[in-house]
Chain A
Amino acid sequence: MIRLQNIEKVYRTSAIETLALNSISLDIAKGEFLSVMGPSGCGKSTLLNIMGLLDAPTKGDIKIDEQRTDHFSDKQLAQFRNRKLGFVFQSYHLINDLKVLDNVELPLLYRTSSGNERKKLASAALEKVGLSNRVKHFPSQLSGGQKQRVAIARAIVGRPEIILADEPTGNLDSAMGSEIMDILLQLNATDNTTIIMVTHDEYMASKTHRLVRLFDGVLVQ
């Protein structure tokens, strides 16, 4: 489903160059639930961003669904992200000025769909994460776990084949964390969604199909 070949990422600031990823090659199969672990600053987020086409690698190739993406225009990239990918971030990234339902509808705004259809799909997604009773709330009126569930609903509303989750439970206590984890496991099991999850939690990682470890930008299986 996702194939990384010799990915290298260098961050250049005026002062220093950081080699955040060093020659990463990785194959992820369709329907796989992969977890990525490693110490802070080792390049996990960078890796996820590159897989999610949110950032471009300095070197190397990415193939998603057998398609090379390096020649994509901005518009094609946007459409590709919209159709194929769903994101969950540690800090939720909800739009505070939009109600829960509108936040969840967001990905659908960037494809052709009617208002009614959007509402229906967003409500269904919220039901899946168990938040049907909070549609009219603003993000500021929700707990951290609830916010992350909204973010997951937003990630799945467009039925993407791949979900990229960067420490989705990082800001949550263990009870709420396991709730989120259950939702992800469920998605993977029932919809065969490919999931790549960055985590610091060995227990969570143990529930996934495969675990890869990153150390200083290098994969150490």
Chain B
Amino acid sequence: MLTHLFKLIWNKKKQNFLLMTEMFVSFIILFAVFTALVYYYQNYHRPMGFEYDRVWKFGYNAPREISDPDSMAAFRGSVRQLIRSMPQIEEVSFSSENIPFGNDNNVGGVNYYKKNVGADKYTVDDSYSAVLHVSVKEGRWFSKEDDAAKEKPVVINETLKKSLFGNENAIGKLIGEGGEGMGNMKIVGVINDLKDKGDFAGPHNGLYRRVDTGNYGGGAILLKVSSDADRAFESRLFKVLSSTMRNPDINIQHLAYMRTRINNIRLIPVIITLIVAGFLIINVALGLFGVLWYNISKRKSEIGLRRAVGASGHSISGQLVGEALVLSTISLIVGSFFALQFPLLNIFDLPALTYLIAQGLAIAFIYLLVMICAFYPGRQAAAIYPAVALHED
């Protein structure tokens, strides 16, 4: 029977070519759609890598009058003292403005000899990891011992480690801020990735520089507050800080709220993808269904004849499903060849696993669709009396 199937398919290669093209195109569309969905899904399930509960951001501009670094350092020291003295405050950290879930980005090059990659660059202080409960994978976080360091101490995240060094050890290596030569930044630690751009964002390279005492005017202060820090405390804090900063342009936001906000923004493309995906999938399903249905309805008299010479209804629908499965297998092999180029050539910079899962889903989906599309009209065709089927030419 299988040889018979192949003969039939081969002799109808022109018609089947169209059908296979339809299947191939459907597969490619599904592959793209599933890649996007799998990517979002994987990102959503990536660990956060830090804690944002009870973390508040205090945004400010430093007073204009302070211009030299020394007085700036002194001023910040006193602000820190002031905040720390409040019982509701557990930790305080000064940071550049690109804090988690914020709108600000600071992207630049990082290089290890000739290897150059882009990375998000953060300027933070020694208590940043404590405020956010960042877990250090290798080496250590910044500390006082870095004060005397000859090379600038930096901490990198795991993704940056992988991009620069692969599986090699990173601790102690010297890297630069883009370019080619030997760098002057020494890696002292590797931390977990922080999913700090919202739940649907993918991993990105991250470089953490230790703040140069006094060398930033504006920025953010991250505060870890205790569980009894309520609204009353928040407004008291606001008053104290605004008089200390001598600058009206300040704000307090909760990281939990900022996360929801950035997720909502990020959700828009996700939802659009979902809607488009839904339409495409329905289209693909209807298209395939139509083509298969048409092909089968054209074969009514053949079906009638087969029934007359001894085919049962089951063997007819089995044959039609079998034919469709052979055709879809051929299309899927060709389609998979194209799909595999994406991880192999690293197009779009997504993880290989994302592509492979999407490919698997697309294959499963096409098979399912083809089985339904061939089985249902096949069964219908097989259910009519052979005399009726033979009648239709």
Contact = CB atoms under 8 A, between A and B. Distances in A.
Given A93-B305, A95-B302, A78 B387 contact: no
Contact of B308 (A52, A99, A138): A52
Nearest to B309: A107
A91 interface: yes
B310 A107 contact: yes
A158 B310 CA distance: 10
Nearest to A73: B312
A54 B3 contact: no
A160 B309 CA distance: 11
B204 to A, nearest CB: 56
Interface in B355-393: 385-388, 390, 393
B385 A98 contact: no
A78 B311 contact: yes
Contacts of B1: 109
Contacts of A89: 390
Contacts of B306: 106, 110
Interface stretch (B6-14, B112-120, B159-167, B281-289): B6-14
A102 B7 contact: yes
Contacts of B386: 54-55
Interface in A88-105: 89, 91, 93, 95, 97-99, 102
B310 A110 contact: yes
Contacts of B11: 97-99, 138
B388 A91 contact: no
A75 interface: yes
A87 interface: yes
Contacts of B388: 55
B313 A97 contact: no
Nearest to A80: B310
Contacts of A138: 11
Interface residues of A, number: 31
A75 B308 CA distance: 12
A170 to B, nearest CB: 14
B310 A102 contact: no
B315 interface: yes
Contact of A81 (B3, B309, B390): B309
Contacts of B301: 93
A181 B315 CA distance: 34
Nearest to A151: B305
Interface in B104-148: none
B239 interface: no
Given A56-B385, A93-B301, A109-B1, A98 B310 contact: no
A110 B7 contact: no
Contacts of B309: 81-82, 87, 106-107, 110, 154, 158
A111 to B, nearest CB: 7
Interface string A24-67: 00000000000000000000000001001011100000000000
Contacts of A154: 309
A109 B305 CA distance: 13
Contacts of B307: 54, 78, 81
Contact of B315 (A56, A95, A110): A110
A146 B310 CA distance: 23
Given A54-B308, A78-B310, A109-B1, 10 more contacts: A52-B308, A75-B312, A81-B307, A93-B301, A93-B308, A106-B305, A110-B309, A110-B311, A110-B312, A158-B309
28 contacts: A52-B308, A54-B304, A54-B307, A54-B390, A55-B388, A74-B314, A75-B312, A75-B314, A78-B310, A78-B313, A78-B315, A79-B310, A81-B307, A81-B309, A83-B310, A93-B304, A93-B308, A95-B8, A95-B302, A95-B305, A98-B8, A106-B305, A106-B306, A107-B309, A110-B306, A110-B309, A110-B312, A115-B3
